[in-house]
Amino acid sequence: MGLGLAFKAFIKAFQEPEKAKQFVEDSALEPKQVESADTAHLRLLASLQQTGRLIDFFKENINGFTDAQIGAAARKIHQDCEQVLEELVTIRPLKEDKEGSLVQVPKGYDPAEIKVVGQVKGEPPFSGILVHRGWKAHKRSLPKKTGQQSVEVICPAEIEIK
């Protein structure tokens, strides 16, 4: 909730305390609905961890390693994670033009697909330099949640018994 809306709600409750009291009492009586959280992002992270050990790489303190060691590890992680992304999400560029090329932003463009930056004046169409091609998911086939595993667990601890 925005600060302005919160302030307006406070003033309204201050002006009409009986209505505010009734609202709070009615809200307390309504059964709370448990939302089924979308955990697709966690399943994707789990796949990236399982195949490419991406989380391990991000959480590792790399200060003690040489650039060559980090580069070798990053190359393998990059290859494995790119394969997972291709299999599960299939990400493609939004713009086929090369970065650095001159492109047109048409009138009525979708701001979710095109972020116009710089010295923007007037109304589209605009002409500008493509800084980033953007990404779009063309296929989404994340694995479904199975079993009773906690949704917060991305990767279980692994213990070798000897």
What digits encode the pLDDT tens for the residues 71-91? 999 999 999 999 999 999 889
| Closest CA relative to residue 44, chosen from 81, 77, 93 | 81
Q: Are 95 and 132 in contact, with CB atoms under 8 Å apart? A: no
Please check whether residues 114 and 80 belong to one and the same domain: no
Q: 85 and 56 share a domain?
A: yes
- Domain co-membership, 101 together with 86: no
pLDDT of residue 130: 96
CA dist 40 and 54 (Å) reads 17
Q: In terms of domains, do 78 and 140 share one?
A: yes
CA distance 5 to 18: 20
Q: Are residues 67 and 50 in the same domain?
A: yes
Residue 1 lies in a domain: no
Interval 9-24: pLDDT, tens: 767 776 777 876 777 6
Using DSSP's 3-state secondary structure scheme, residue 118 falls into coil
Residue 135 has pLDDT above 80, yes or no: yes
Whether residues 146 and 79 share a domain: the answer is: yes
pLDDT band at 33 (very low <50, low <70, confident <90, very high): very low
pTM of the model: 0.61
Q: What percent of the chain has pLDDT over 90?
A: 53
Instruction: Confirm whether 141 is domain-assigned.
Output: yes
pLDDT tier, 35 (very low <50, low <70, confident <90, very high otherwise): very low
Asked, for residue 28, whether it belongs to a domain, the answer is: no
Give me the domain span that covers residue 64.
38-93+136-150
- Asked if 115 and 133 count as a contact pair (C-beta separation under 8 A), the reply is no
Q: The tokens of 5 are what?
A: 């809306």
Q: How confident is the model at residue 30 (pLDDT cuts 50, 70, 90)?
A: low
User: Are residues 117 and 50 part of one domain?
Assistant: no
The structural domain count of the chain equals 2
| Burial of 88 per CB tally in 10 Å (0-12, 13-18, 19+) | buried
- Residue 10 placed within a domain: no
